[in-house]
Amino acid sequence: MNDQSLPLKKLPRSLGVSRNLTQDDVVYEHVFDAILEQRLAPGTRLSEEALGEIFGVSRTIIRRALSRLGHEGVVLLRPNRGAVVASPSVEEARQVFFARRMVEKAITELAVEHATAEQLAELRQMVSDERDSFARGDRGAGIRLSGEFHLQLAVAARNAPLISFQRSLVSQTSLIIAQYETGNRTHCSYDEHSQLIDAIEARNTALAVELMMHHMDHIDGKLNLDEDSASDDLHAVFSHVMGRKKQGR
């Protein structure tokens, strides 16, 4: 298979990365977004053969993308047994949420200091898009936008390492929610996000941090050990990619 061909035209919406994407960038972002939207279930086997067929690239390209996802902690690379979507244990989930709280606090403090009017406007638009997604019943898009809100906030904080940490933590959090969230799947993150933007715009660090911690409490409070969502069928998860390939797009 020719690794120079790039059959995927429409890319997932993600933040903090260059738009000059290689083939493994494209695969990485599609899988990253599928995890962010909770369309990939924890424990799903990521067959190199199936993914290569879906994305129209070689196994070498697939391995590069999976290696990056493994480095971020959302894919488990098992020698001689292939890769699977990570299934965080209860203790691992607690550790991720603790780390996420620390990173979110730092990001919020820096965003109060550095966020521009243009960045705040972008955040408000994301909140509006998130609200619209949930209103029309598109839960996957709403969840992705909620995660991307936190990635964009990290961009506004102007600290490159925090952006990298946040990408990993946001995707790991999405896996934890998919694995452990309760049956009550109501979402009010967009209201909490709006309040957070208001506090950042007012340059009120104490209030902004308080609101962020309340937001994290709200997410943490909905977790249990029972609920399982998403899918382990790779072709079903990436059906939109297959559809575009068949249509010659």
DSSP 47-103: -HHHHHHHHT--HHHHHHHHHHHHHTTSEEEETTTEEEE----HHHHHHHHHHHHHH
* Residue 200 CA from chain centroid, whole number: 23
Q: Which long-range contacts does 120-125 make (Cβ < 8 Å, 24+ apart)?
A: 120/156, 120/197, 120/200, 120/201, 122/152, 123/149, 123/152, 123/153, 123/156, 123/193, 123/197, 124/194, 124/197
69 pLDDT above the threshold of 60? yes
pLDDT for residue 117: 97
**Cβ atoms within 10 Å of 83's Cβ, excluding its own:** 22
**Which of 27-31, 101-105, 245-249 is most confident?**
101-105
Calculate the alpha carbon distances from 49 to 32, 45, 63, 124 in Å.
18, 11, 10, 41
What does the alpha-carbon distance between residue 62 and residue 51 come to, in Å, rounded to a whole number?
A: 7
DSSP string, 131-149: HHHHHTT-HHHHHHHHHHH
Query: Chain-wide mean pLDDT for the chain?
Result: 84
Mean pLDDT (whole number) for 135-150: 89
Q: Return all residues near 229 (Cβ < 8 A) that are at least 6 apart.
A: 38, 41, 178, 181
pLDDT for residue 248: 62
- Domains of the chain (ranges plus CATH)? 23-85 (1.10.10.10), 90-226 (1.20.120.530)
16 pLDDT above the threshold of 80? no
- What percent of the chain is modeled with pLDDT above 70? 83
Q: In what order do the strands lie in the sheet with 82-85?
A: 45-46, 82-85, 75-78
Q: Return all residues near 196 (Cβ < 8 A) that are at least 6 apart.
A: 108, 208, 211, 212, 215
Helices 205-220 and 189-201, axial angle in degrees (round to 10): 170
Mean pLDDT (whole number) for 142-161: 94
Indicate the pTM of the whole model. Answer: 0.75
pLDDT for residue 221: 83
Task: Give the type of residue at 248.
Answer: G
pLDDT for residue 232: 60
